[in-house]
Chain A
Amino acid sequence: MITNERGASIIGVILVLAVLTLSGVIFVSVFSTGVEESTGEVLSSRALFAAEGGMEAAIGHLKKAPVATNWLWKDGYLAKPMGGGTVDAEVLEYESRDATLAGANKCEPFESVIVSTGANPARTVYASLAWSSASNMGLELYDNSVADCNNPTASANLIASSATSNMPETIRYRVQTAPPATITYTARVLGVAGDAYKLRIAHPDETNFGTGNTCGQPAGPPYDACMRAVISLGRHMDARREVFSGFSRTP
């Protein structure tokens, strides 16, 4: 009996040790995962800070005196050191094409001049559509002028579309055409007559982009002031974060 009792104790000790070991392993495992997640968040935040720093630097460059000259700056940044990481930034023209649909669609052409100069020449087209009407709306991007907005593919190719149930609809497209090139794209808004919407388009500068209160080509309404946008990509080790901003200036 005594012998049996001693054997039972050994088994109990072994069980206790096994439970403790398993708990330790689980604890260590859980603890180390938390460290990894925390480290990744820190790097991501630092990448975001780099992106925001690049945005601030680009805006600062655009608005420094004499602004008449510097507002036209479009070189951007490529691997610019920023807070221990780096940042790439593209400088874009930014247009507001707010309107109300008269029919089921409306086409907004815009010109982009693709150049090779500068550290990071603009290649991004970024369009966003928001609306206040109850009905859902959609957005399409075509690679040319659209002669008939009811039949866009007769004169242009569809590059991308966004027709979700959410708002806003956004399309982001990277220009593939080799420089130098001047390309007219068309943003096509879909909805129902009477829908009021806000369409914002950021793209490489037009031919006659300037500091005036109207854009260059094509000239005239409905769009308003020439504005700027910057898209800034921050990197910190393996983390990447991106910031986009459209803005105007006064004076």
Chain B
Amino acid sequence: MSTRRLLIFALAILSFLFSGGMAIAAETFSVIVPAGTEVAMQDPNAVIPFTVTNSASSTKDIRELTFRIDDTKYNFSSATVPPTGWCIKEIEDDRITFALTQGSGACSSGTSASELDPGESAVFNIVLLPLVASTDVAGDTLTSVSVDTQGGFSRSGALPTWTRRSLEATLVATPESLGVGGAITLTMQVTNRSTATQSNITSTPAPPTPSSAIATLSDGPYYGSTGLDGNLSAAATIVTVASTSGFTSPGTIRLDSEDICYTGKTATTFTGVTRGCNSTTAAAHTTGAIVYAKTQYLLSPGSSGVIIWLYGATSTGTVYFSTRATNSGSTANSVLLNSNTVLIGNFTASLTVTPGSVITGQQVTVEMQVKNNGTSALINVAPSALTPCAGEATETLSSGPAPSSISSLASGSTGVFSWTYTVTGSLGQAYCLSGYGTATGGALTNTATSNSGVISQYSATVSPSVVASGATSQTLTWSVYNGGACTLKKIEVSFPGGGGNWTCSSVTAPAGWTGSCGGTKVTFQSSNSANDIPSGGTKTYSITYSTTETVTSDKVVSFSVNPVPRGGCGGSEAEIGTYVTVTAYGLSVAHSPTGPIYADGSASYTMTATLVSGGSPVAGKTVTFSTTSGTLSPATAVTDANGEATVTLIAPNSTTDTTATVTASYLNSSGTDTVSFTGWNIANIQYWGSLSPASASCGSTVSFTMALKNISASTSMTMNTASYFAFNDSSAGGSTVYQAYLNSAVTLAAGATQTLVFGSPTSSGGGGGVVIPSSFLAGTYSPTLNSAPPPASGLFLTDGGTNDQYRTVTDAVTLSGNCGVVNVNIIEWHEFR
């Protein structure tokens, strides 16, 4: 070969290598995660958002990706939901392969609109189970990410890293709405997910940082709480509480402003106490008072504890709190936590939309909760029209609000309005709404914005969403909605991992379907296309678990639902995450009377929630109530020694029979109870504010005036002089009644409002005022209706029988001056030597 030929050959080789090298170098992609990404050990729902970007300089698209990880540190989870248009082709503990959903429903690397073309990105929210270690682990990463087809791809840049945290924690602020001057209780629940005992659990930053200066720390941190069982004198040497579980021994407890040091404890008592330690003053305390732990604790692997702070609300607005749990050496931490948002104001509103995932054309329920945190009643409370907020979906009003207004909302009470909207749009589009509440006198709430929902092709919900720790024979029922064009022939429900013990014992399939228990999942199969879930149809599937999971703190577990369309239609499979909370607490709700009661805006049920843990009542915990109809007064209550928290549900105004579902919640546990109301079809006279005078002296002669409105649309009422207004001092232990009759007969036409005067000593009318007996005990009294007097209370409005009704006056009367006192009558007296 001549030199010339050799040179040409060499140049050709170099040219080939150069062009080939450039081509190889052009097919690159990158993988990143957000800065500061962190997950908690043993969290079965840990999600890491990997953003995969096909370099703009690439010449090929990405159709199949495999992520690999060290399975001694993490396991990939089948609960992973792929990006739109993608599917999970294969999954093992140490790897997960995504491919494209084909028109046939197959999951393969065939070309598709969802492939990642050069310059495009997609976020792969991969659910993985972080395995345990003794302390936090920084710098966790994948072992590799590869493009399995369209050869020649190489990854640019380093693999992303994140941190694995040892502590799992939640941060809850209660109540969710309060007035200026009220107190916010912030509770962090911490579980040690590491293999080592972690000591001196605290928070960083300490205290948690409020998002706004409208809340300031007033007390804490405390490391547990319970309720005082029985009054405690300043000299008592044994402190009896509902439970000492979670309290260190020895340790220090806080009761009101007194520190009490103790050297020992039993299940329900603190012993060896030193009253007024830490330079505080021994004092008497009332049964039910909250007992706080002041001594830090250690957490053995798997155990849980709480940290509590108290904040004062100093101004109106919204606030949430941020912090993370940590141990003494900051070697074990939780992920950064944000609490729920708290509304501060005299009149507040919040909005929720459910469900959070629908198919286009499906209806959603929107609820607005309004709360009166002021000192006097709010009259004629109504919601504004709702407006769509950010999101591309279209929300069309179907019905609501129901009720259109609440005639009177007493101080401390909560009311609710609900709407039904139809959501339409494309897959992935979001929906949410905003609005506010109004009341007579120009009162306005904050403008509330609901949570966001998203349109999906299928939807699946599970019921119940909360189960008790260690439940056996627990049945869960999934409702699967098909919003796709194809029928669904198969539904797979996978069991949660993460150390649970979910054992399927039986299944219940819809007619024409079969199903059987499997080790890790249940597959429900349609026998033929006629029995499939049709487009726009819903079917339910139940699985009974003979064993579930035992937890020491609330835990959310994931059940992945996989709908499979019938072939030949072009439909696609999907992975839908459904979640169930396994709660360490049990919460049940009961009501009294049995009912139904009238939906007249005044009648009421007493709702009692009972909180237990391990079968024992839990005292000193704040339970939050909500209702789908009517008003709650108050909306929160603290459990007593029997674990019971009680509130009043006041009936809505309705001309038709209706129901209300009352939900009581504590942390992640909740219980519900449904009560019934009978429609009120005659004249409906409601207190419409302006009670005057609001205060009076005992012994004085008083006539009370107030506005009343007939909210009936069609029926008028002529109230005769046997109608009365009354209140009594029975709430203070007295037996004195003030009762004033209507001065003269008054006709209230339908929809009319009028100020009436109650100042007649007898039912003959005539006015002149009625003496407030001097035997009245001084105090503030609420004229709540008593439909079975004596003692008389509230309003009794009569026209001789046709429209007779008892009504509550939602404002109060304060009596002072030369009022009655309690006298003791000695019956027997002995002296002994």
By a beta-carbon cutoff of 8 Å, the part of chain A in contact with chain B is 44, 48, 51, 59, 62-71, 73, 75, 77-80, 94, 96, 115-119, 128, 200, 211, 227, 229, 241-251
Contacts and interface: CB of A to CB of B under 8 A. Distances in A.
Contacts of B820: 251
B268 to A, nearest CB: 9
B775 A251 contact: yes
B824 A248 contact: yes
Contact of B822 (A44, A63, A94, A246): A63
Interface string B807-833: 000000000000010111111111111
B832 A242 contact: yes
Interface in B393-414: none
Contact of B826 (A115, A116, A200, A245): A245
Given A78-B236, A241-B831, A241-B832, A211 B826 contact: no
B731 interface: yes
15 contacts: A63-B824, A64-B822, A65-B778, A67-B733, A77-B233, A78-B236, A117-B232, A211-B733, A244-B830, A245-B830, A247-B826, A247-B827, A249-B822, A251-B734, A251-B777
A187 to B, nearest CB: 15
A204 B778 CA distance: 30
A243 B777 contact: no
A170 B747 CA distance: 66
Interface in B249-271: 269
- A44, A67, A79, A242: residue with the most chain B Cβ atoms closer than 10 Å: A67
B823 to A, nearest CB: 5
B734 A67 contact: yes
Contacts of B822: 63-65, 67, 249-251
A246 B828 contact: yes
B283 to A, nearest CB: 13
Interface string B740-781: 000000000000000000000000000000000001011100
B15 to A, nearest CB: 96
B326 to A, nearest CB: 38
A244 B236 contact: no
| Most chain B beta carbons < 10 A, residue from A78, A115, A251 | A251
A127 to B, nearest CB: 11
Contacts of A73: 231
B730 A68 contact: yes
A118 B230 contact: yes
Interface string B218-252: 00000000000111110110101000000000000
A44 B736 CA distance: 44
A211 B735 CA distance: 11
Contacts of B830: 243-245
B823 A249 contact: yes
A139 to B, nearest CB: 15
Interface string B718-746: 00000000000111111110000000000
A75 B230 contact: yes
A250 to B, nearest CB: 5
A71 B827 CA distance: 17
B831 A247 contact: no
B287 interface: yes
Nearest to B775: A251
Contact of A251 (B238, B733, B827): B733
Contacts of A250: 822-823, 825
Contacts of B231: 73, 75, 117-118
Nearest to B641: A117
A87 to B, nearest CB: 12
A251 B230 contact: no
Contacts of B734: 67, 251
A119 B825 contact: no
A67 B240 CA distance: 24
B233 A245 contact: no
Given A242-B832, A251-B820, A75 B233 contact: yes
Contacts of A66: 731-733, 777, 779
B824 A59 contact: yes
Given A65-B777, A67-B733, A79 B826 contact: no
Given A66-B731, A243-B831, A244-B829, 4 more contacts: A68-B732, A79-B235, A116-B269, A245-B830
A243 B825 contact: no
B832 A67 contact: no
Given A116-B240, A251-B777, A71 B733 contact: yes
Given A65-B779, A250-B825, A119 B236 contact: yes
A62 B823 CA distance: 11
B276 to A, nearest CB: 15
A119 B779 contact: no
A44 B833 CA distance: 9
Contacts of A64: 822
A250 B820 CA distance: 10
B825 A249 contact: yes
Closest CB pairs A-B (n = 4): A117-B230, A68-B733, A67-B733, A119-B233
Contact of B230 (A77, A115, A243): A115
B738 to A, nearest CB: 14
B789 to A, nearest CB: 16
Contacts of A44: 833
Given A243-B829, A245-B829, A69 B733 contact: yes
Given A73-B231, A241-B832, A65 B732 contact: yes
B831 A248 contact: no
Nearest to B830: A244
Contacts of A242: 831-833
Given A117-B230, A117-B240, A251 B735 contact: yes
A229 B729 CA distance: 24
B460 to A, nearest CB: 49
A61 to B, nearest CB: 10
A96 B825 CA distance: 14
Give the most central of A78, A211, A248, A250: most B CB within 10 Å.
A250
Contacts of A70: 733
Nearest to A64: B822
Nearest to B777: A65
A128 B828 contact: yes
B287 A117 contact: yes
A37 to B, nearest CB: 15
Interface string B297-311: 000000000000000
Contacts of B238: 116
Nearest to B729: A251
A70 B284 CA distance: 13
Nearest to B732: A66
A198 B332 CA distance: 72
Contacts of B233: 75, 77-78, 118-119
Contacts of A94: 827-828
A249 B778 CA distance: 17
Contacts of B229: 117
Contacts of A248: 824-825, 827
A40 to B, nearest CB: 12
B656 to A, nearest CB: 38
Given A66-B733, A67-B732, A118-B231, A246 B824 contact: no
A78 B235 contact: yes
A250 B736 CA distance: 11
A50 to B, nearest CB: 12
B374 to A, nearest CB: 24
Contacts of A128: 828
A77 B236 CA distance: 9
B749 to A, nearest CB: 42
A200 B827 CA distance: 10
B112 to A, nearest CB: 71
A167 B182 CA distance: 61
Nearest to A63: B822
B360 to A, nearest CB: 58
B660 to A, nearest CB: 30
Contacts of B827: 94, 96, 200, 227, 246-248
B230 to A, nearest CB: 2
A161 to B, nearest CB: 19
